[in-house]
Amino acid sequence: MISCLKCLPLMVELEDLKNRNPRAWTLLLTQDTEITDIIVAAVGEEPLPGSENVSRFLLSLSGYHEPFSLIGKRTNPAEALFYEAFAPQFPHFTPTCWFSYVGVEDGWLVLTDVQNDHPPEHWTGNDVNILIGNLASLHAAFWGKRDILDQYGLPDMLGESTAEADMVSDDSGDEQSPEQPLNQMARIERWLQGQRRHLTDHAIRTAGPLTPLLAEASSALFALRQVNGWPGIVDEQHLVALADLLDDPLPMLHPLRQLPYTLLHGDPSAQRWCLTLFDDYYLLDWQNTAIGPGVCDLLNFIDQMELLPDERQVQITEETMVDSYILAMRGELGTSFDARATRQALPAARCLLVLTKWLPILGKSSEKLRYDGETWQAMGDISDEELAEAGFAQLPDLRVTLATVFDRFLRDYRSL
């Protein structure tokens, strides 16, 4: 166990913290040399709404009237590793980590309790620029340093492709050893065995570690085809484009794999940020942290910003956000940052996001309505009130969101 606050061995047992042992929590606090006289008298716990894995621990301190609160979080090894190994380099936009445990299958964290005083509906264009600047500083710190990142065993978002390797000639004339691709293929094929998936052999060879996500997308497309798309949202041209990328993901993945890899958050959308009264900008929830091209984080952020409801929209365009990122990266890396390659890879990043995130969401909706084809096919003409009366109150917002998503997808697909 290593404390992220000091990065020194700390004799605190995880189970003692979970069991609210005051002595263990006292040891945790007094690792900070400025508060060595603190004594924790009692520890309370409040599960946070909406998450069974996150609790607020309320520490009653001897001599103090107000309790001191910290967040305890059961998470995956990737997020615990991020706070242990990387977060100390970014104290200006990650909450202080007082304790981390990195297990084989899970992790556990104790973090400073930060307040979200300015939710997205209160953000300004300047706030968004600062958030993008923080994202750029994360990417710049590990830009092109895959050899360092590989040492930590973080997930590789895109991996390598045996089909892509076939495109590159080997001047030495030596044949590449097939051992690694075959091992990778064996793992993927075991995962696919016995499941209803619709990926070609070429797609599996191309996708690498993305295979499970693309297989889920392919099943979602299958369900969507069963109901002939979604009128007014996804028509035949969308279905053809989605099927084309799932049959051959290489035009989408190749430009992304050509970019320098860095440390990714994985899902830096608006709901992951906390803006405080003291002008702190914290990025939370690092469960999807991985190695990959920074443009995927950028596009994820842009995508979510543009899909906020009208009353929560910040008046800032996609082009402005891209420019802010490029300027910040240029400020960090100078001319070694290739702005042109980043811009050219944006369509590929959006297509990947649609396949791995939005298509499965749409597929689940169409799956539920498969046996109500009349309602589904009339969806474009049914009012929000009628949908609510029919038991589909969640669909109006989804309809508006997905109309925007798939219109942009078709535009970007055609530019690959």
Query: HEC states along 21-54?
Result: CHHHHHHHHCCCHHHCCCCEEEEEEEECCCCCCE
Mean predicted lDDT score pLDDT of the chain: 83
- The whole-number average pLDDT for the span 321-346 is 96
Close Cβ partners of 142 (under 8 Å, ≥ 6 residues apart):
148, 149, 262, 263
pLDDT value, residue 372: 55
- The whole-number average pLDDT for the span 119-140 is 93
- Does residue 392 carry a pLDDT above 80? no
- Does residue 148 carry a pLDDT above 50? yes
Digit-coded pLDDT (tens) for 251-284: 999 999 999 999 999 999 988 999 999 999 999 9
The CA distance from 14 to 21, in Å, is 10
The CA distance from 159 to 253, in Å, is 10
The CA distance from 258 to 249, in Å, is 15
Lowest mean pLDDT among 3-17, 102-116, 320-334: 3-17
The CA distance from 199 to 189, in Å, is 11
- The whole-number average pLDDT for the span 388-395 is 64
pLDDT value, residue 230: 80
Quickly state the pLDDT bin for 187 (edges 50, 70, 90): very low
- Does residue 55 carry a pLDDT above 50? yes
